[in-house]
Chains A and B, each alone.
Chain A
Amino acid sequence: MNIRKSMMLWVVLILMFTAACSNSNGTATPKEGVDSGTNQPSDAKKPEETYKITGATYIFGNPPPKDGRGQKMLNEKFNVDYFAEKIPNDNFVEKITAMVAGGSMPDQISFRSTNMDLFNRWAEQNAFFPLNDYIEEFDYLKAIPDELWLPFTVNGKIYGIPTWSPVESQSFMVRKDWLDNLGLPVPTSYEELKKVAIAFTKDDPDQNNKQDTYGLAIGQDINPTFAMGPYWQHDTWYHQDAEGNYIPGLISEGRKELISFFHDLYKEKALTSDFAVVNWADTNNEFYSGKAGVFLIAPRGMSQDYMEALLAIDPKAEFVVLEPFAAPDGSQGFTAGAGFSRFLTLNAKLANQPDKVRKMLEIHEFSRQYYQASKVTPDNKDFDWFYGNEGVGYNLDENNVRVPINDPASGTEPFLYFIDSTAWIGPEDDAEYPHAYSEPKLIDATQQLVDINKKYKLYYPPHVGIISAKETEVGAELTQLLMNEQTKMITGNRPVSDWDAMVQEYMSRGGAKIIEEYNAEIKARGYTERLWK
């Protein structure tokens, strides 16, 4: 009796366990865990082999389930067994590393632009498939500008395909209604911006007879940067030292000017108080609650919810976007973005399967088409299919802008299932940033930013995509050190006159080596004069 009872217990447990195992083996789709190099023998009857294509990429938000309508449509259209796993962004690197260590590196990986050091390390291990011979075959690859191939070229071989992201710069928006109430002009220099910020703090710009407003919304790690050009920007390489070597913005003369500007504002309480402990979400709140008068605006990704909340709090709010300030060296303009936000790599084991590679690139090309809203109709077959058919996956509004019908988690639309659905917007195309919103004031502000970006040349910094061994080792630690010391300088806990000592510490703890390594690579690339275009 007792024995039977206990034996049954264990039998049940063991059954559960084996069920788990067999379940995984039985129902597992052939996608997982299979070495990408191996391939099923082709079926002679079929005109074309049905390739099994595995992939992995990162995602913000929640992806659709594996077996959605869009996935089936994708597999049918291209006659493939396609799967791109979407990994939550925060744990992307960990999981992808585990997958590789487990011997199941997928056929394709779409990395984040922040994974460049991982890319370089893996490229040195010959993990990726060289794409040099295929670029001429595909129009969408030919369209990629030469400088964007540079970061993905290792020992002459191109291992990555950059995915478009705006080169247009962000800027800062100022409460126009407050400027008008105080009779102030739109600031065009830090001197004027300082006056505006102080007036916003002391002169009751919203005319409610309360001291409840101030100038710049800023949070921990001195974010946003309020850099009105590359001269002041901390995360670009613009300044040069006495020997002509480029140096990081964080230790430059321009940054020092900016820090003393912040210090002056801090003394006048024209910056977010306690900014060193305010996180990014709360920094946003400072502006969108109508307390601060100056904040970041970017060409895309602004939150319409927050803008609408601000307009509900203060319906009279108006915004003007700042143009870049003229720098002491005569330059005026913003810094270009890297031009790519993600990049695709193929598995080196595809070397003896050129047809599969072509298939993958064909699918990639398709998913990267750009459909300008003004030219779109449901009759455009590719567009209609990509977004899951009119009336099922999307509807078009009066401006001909696509409005999805379902939550992405329903998996109705094929575009959700591609490893990379970021359209390539060429230099001649209008990216239509304002189309992302429906709130008129947000549309207007975005349009102002787009116009400013058209008006000025952009600075193309020399450091994009360079990996320095020393930086990989100590870079994060040193950046943190500089941010901390500069925060103390803004609050007056450390005098700005200590700047040179701070730079010296950076240099001696590895900064000098980082600069040396970067400049060797910059010279090798042939970048000498600062590039504006």
Chain B
Amino acid sequence: MGKLLTRMNREKYIYLLLLPGVLYFIIYRYVPMAGLVIAFKDFNPFTGFWNSDWVGIKHFTRMFESSEVIQVLVNTIQISLLQIFVAFPVSIILALMLNELRHATLKRFIQSLIYLPHFLSWVVVVGIFVVFLRGEGLVNSVLANFGLEAIPFLTDPAYFKPIIILQVIWKEAGWGTIIFLAALAGVNPSLYEAAVIDGANRWRQLWHVTLPAIRGVIIILFILRLGSVLDTGFEQIFLMLNPFNMDSGNVLDTYVYFKGIQQGNIGFATAVGMFKGVIGLVLVLSANRLAKRFGEDGLY
């Protein structure tokens, strides 16, 4: 006990540093979590969280009651995996390409341009894509000039997922580079000098100096992204859905929206969030364990 106290005394400044943040998390994140109880209740604003009627797992069964839900989960995971394994690496590659640029002004200039689309809302982005990809849109006009047949980009279900990923890349890839560029800025230039003296060419420098320097950040981001594997982004997909691609494009977020989130059913919305959280938690914990087994720091 005394030992513990001495240790805590020695570390008191660290506790001082932690205190405000911990208070914040308790007050604004954990106290409200008590409200998760309404996933099992019929929320009634007049009686409040504690006195609303219990409904057991009604909200959870509602999520799974229809046969579409299997297809919906498959779509969700497919789009999510495409985002993780296609869109996410694009940011890394883009950051590495920028890192290789020797011309400092050009580098800054391009950096400041590629993060622009991040600031546009999905309504605007989807609007622009529709102008380009409609049956009589700009892309198809070009195709027609070459005597090619129009491609139904927006209504043929086969194009749905590729276009969704393309939009995500276009909107977020540039923004995604910022975090990696920050990591690359921390690389000690003497490491490169040493590599050059060892006779390493550009590829080997990239492989042995640059990538290891950002590996930690990549792994952290990857694990965190796994936690939201059932979140595909609502607005973009909702705006891109139409009667023809509904079967291959309906994801969990849009499915539960049609199922009643739009009617303000708070209990149902909470249950859906909880389901997504549990799946995410399992994935994060397993990915973290895996990362540690391979000698990485992991999340904690």
Residues of A within 8 A of B (CB): 3, 6, 10, 13, 93-94, 97-98, 100-101, 117-118, 122, 125, 127, 220, 273-274, 276-279, 282, 472-473, 476-477, 480, 483-485, 487-488, 491, 493
Contact B263 A472 (CB under 8 A): yes
Contacts of A94 in B (CB 8 A): 264
Please tell me if the beta carbons of A277 and B48 are within 8 angstroms of each other in the complex.
no
> Given B20, B48, B134, B258, which contacts A480 in the complex, CB threshold below 8 Å?
B258
C-alpha spacing A278/B243, complex, angstroms: 12
Query: A476 with B134: in contact, given A101-B45, A487-B243, A493-B244 (CB under 8 Å)?
Result: no
Contact of B134 among A274, A472, A491 (CB under 8 A): A274
Per-residue interface assignment for chain B, residues 15 to 30, with 1 indicating a CB less than 8 Å from any chain A CB and 0 otherwise? 0110010000000000
Cα separation A433 to B284 with both chains bound (whole Å): 60
When the two chains form their complex, are residues B259 and A477 in contact, meaning their CB atoms are under 8 A apart?
yes
Of A10, A93, A279, the contact of B264 (CB 8 Å cutoff):
A93
Question: What 10 pairs between A and B have smallest CB-CB spacing?
Answer: A484-B243, A101-B45, A100-B45, A487-B243, A274-B135, A276-B242, A125-B46, A277-B154, A274-B134, A477-B258
Whether the Cβ atoms of B46 and A277 lie closer than 8 Å is no
Which of B44, B46, B48, B260 is most buried by chain A, counting CB atoms within 10 A of its CB?
B46
* Neighbouring B residues of A97 by C-beta, 8 Å: 45, 264, 266
Judge whether B233 is part of the interface by a CB distance below 8 angstroms: no
Measured between beta carbons, the chain B residues less than 8 angstroms from A127 are 46
Q: Could you list 6 examples of A-B contacts with CB < 8 Å? A: A3-B13, A273-B135, A274-B154, A282-B130, A484-B243, A485-B243
A276 near B155: Cβ-Cβ < 8 Å: yes
Known interface pairs A125-B44, A480-B258. Does A276 touch B244 (Cβ–Cβ under 8 Å)?
yes
CB-CB under 8 A from B127, the residues of chain A are: 279, 282
**Cβ–Cβ contact A276 & B263, under 8 A:** no
Interface string of B264-275 (1 = CB under 8 A from A): 101000000000
Q: How far is the CA of A483 from the CA of B258 in the complex (A)?
A: 13
Contact across chains for A277 and B130 when beta carbons are under 8 A apart: yes
B72 CB → nearest A CB, Å: 13
- Report whether B48 and A117 are in contact in the complex, using a CB–CB cutoff of 8 Å: no
Contact of A273 among B136, B263, B264 (CB under 8 A): B136
What residues of A have a CB within 8 angstroms of the CB of B105 in the complex? none
CA distance A97 to B13 in the complex (A): 43
CA distance A282 to B48 in the complex (A): 43
Q: Please pick, from A3, A6, A277, A279, the residue contacting B155 in the complex, using a CB distance under 8 A.
A: A277
Chain B residues closer than 8 Å to A10, beta-carbon distance? 16, 20
> Which interface class (under 10, 10 to 19, 20 to 34, 35 or more) fits B?
20 to 34
Q: Chain A residues near B246 (CB, 8 Å)? A: 484
- The residue that A476 contacts in the complex, of B13, B49, B135, B263, with Cβ under 8 A, is B263
Q: Which residues of A contact B145 (CB under 8 A)?
A: none
Instruction: Answer whether residue B262 sits at the interface, using C-beta atoms and an 8 A cutoff.
Output: yes
- The answer to whether B264 and A276 have CB atoms under 8 Å apart is no
Query: With A6-B16, A118-B264, A487-B243 in contact, is A274–B258 under 8 Å at CB?
Result: no
- Give the complex CA separation of A232 and B286 in angstroms: 57
With beta carbons under 8 angstroms apart, the residue of A277, A476, A488 that contacts B258 is A476
- Partner of B244 from the list A93, A101, A273, A488 (CB cut-off 8 Å) is A488
Measured in the bound complex, the distance between the Cα atoms of B135 and A1 in whole Å is 70
Q: Across the interface, do B136 and A274 meet the contact criterion of CB distance under 8 Å?
A: yes
A113 → B minimal CB distance (Å): 16
Contact B134 A101 (CB under 8 A): no
Known A10-B20, A94-B264, A274-B134; judge A100-B258 contact (CB<8 A): no
Most chain B beta carbons < 10 A, residue from A276, A277, A488, A493: A277
Q: Which residues of A contact B244 (CB under 8 A)?
A: 276, 487-488, 491, 493
Residues in chain B near residue A273, CB distance under 8 A: 134-136
Contact status of A277 and B263, CB under 8 A, knowing A220-B242, A477-B258: no
Contact indicator B243/A483 (Cβ below 8 Å): yes
Q: A13 to B16, alpha carbons, bound, how many Å?
A: 13
Instruction: Given A97-B266, A274-B135, verify A476-B260 contact (CB < 8 Å).
Output: yes
Taken together as a complex, chains A and B put the C-alpha atoms of A485 and B266 apart, in Å, by: 29
State in angstroms the CA–CA spacing of A75 and B291 once bound together: 65
Known: A117-B263, A279-B127. A100 touches B46 (CB 8 A): yes
Q: Taking the nearest CB of chain B, how far is it from the CB of A129, in angstroms?
A: 14
A483-B244 Cα distance, complex, nearest whole Å:
11
B243 pairs with A476, CB closer than 8 A = no
Interface contacts beyond A101-B49, A274-B135, A484-B243: sample of 16 additional A-B pairs, CB < 8 Å, sorted by A: A6-B17, A93-B264, A97-B45, A97-B266, A220-B242, A273-B134, A273-B135, A277-B154, A277-B155, A278-B130, A278-B134, A476-B263, A480-B258, A483-B243, A487-B242, A488-B244
B104-127: CB near A (< 8 Å → 1, else 0) gives 000000000000000000000001
Measured between beta carbons, the chain A residues less than 8 angstroms from B13 are: 3, 6
CB of A63 to closest CB in B, whole Å: 22
Cβ contacts under 8 Å, B20 to chain A: 10, 13
Contacts of B258 in A (CB 8 A): 476-477, 480
Nearest opposing residue in chain B for A115, CB measure: B264
Residues of A within 8 A of B264 (CB): 93-94, 97, 118
* Distance of A273 Cα from B141 Cα, bound (Å): 14
Residue of A nearest to B44 (CB): A125
List, in ascending order, chain B residues with CB within 8 A of A488's CB.
Answer: 243-244
Quick one: CB contact mask for B33-48 with A, threshold 8 Å, 1 for yes?
0000000000011101
Q: Which residues of A contact B45 (CB under 8 A)?
A: 97-98, 100-101
Instruction: Report the nearest A residue to B137, measured CB to CB.
Output: A274
Best-buried of A13, A101, A278, A488 by chain B (most CB within 10 Å): A101
Q: How far is the CA of A6 from the CA of B16 in the complex (A)?
A: 9
B90 to chain A: closest CB distance in Å?
A: 26
Q: Chain B residue with minimal CB distance to A490?
A: B243
Q: How far is the CA of A100 from the CA of B45 in the complex (A)?
A: 6
**Which residues of chain B (140-183) have a CB below 8 Å from chain A?**
154-155
Set B16, B49, B154, B260: member contacting A473, Cβ < 8 A:
B260
- A101–B127 alpha-carbon span in the complex (Å): 37
Would A277 and B259 be within 8 Å (CB), given that A93-B264, A485-B243 are in contact? no
In the bound assembly, the distance between CA atoms of A282 and B134 in angstroms comes to 12
The smallest beta-carbon distance between B174 and chain A, in angstroms, is 26
Task: Give A486's nearest chain B residue, CB to CB.
Answer: B243
> In whole Å, how far is B165's beta carbon from the nearest beta carbon of chain A?
18
Which residues of B245-286 have CB atoms within 8 Å of chain A's CB atoms?
Answer: 246, 258-260, 262-264, 266
Question: B243: which A residues are within 8 A, CB to CB?
Answer: 276, 483-485, 487-488
Measured CA separation A239–B242 after assembly (Å): 28
Report yes or no: A277 in contact with B134, Cβ–Cβ below 8 A. yes
Shortest CB-to-CB span from A280 to chain B, Å, is 12
A485–B247 Cα distance when bound, in Å, is: 12
Could you tell me the distance between the alpha carbons of A485 and B244 in the complex, rounded to whole angstroms?
Answer: 9
Q: Which of B76-133 contact A (CB under 8 A)?
A: 127, 130
A390 to B116, CA, bound (A): 47
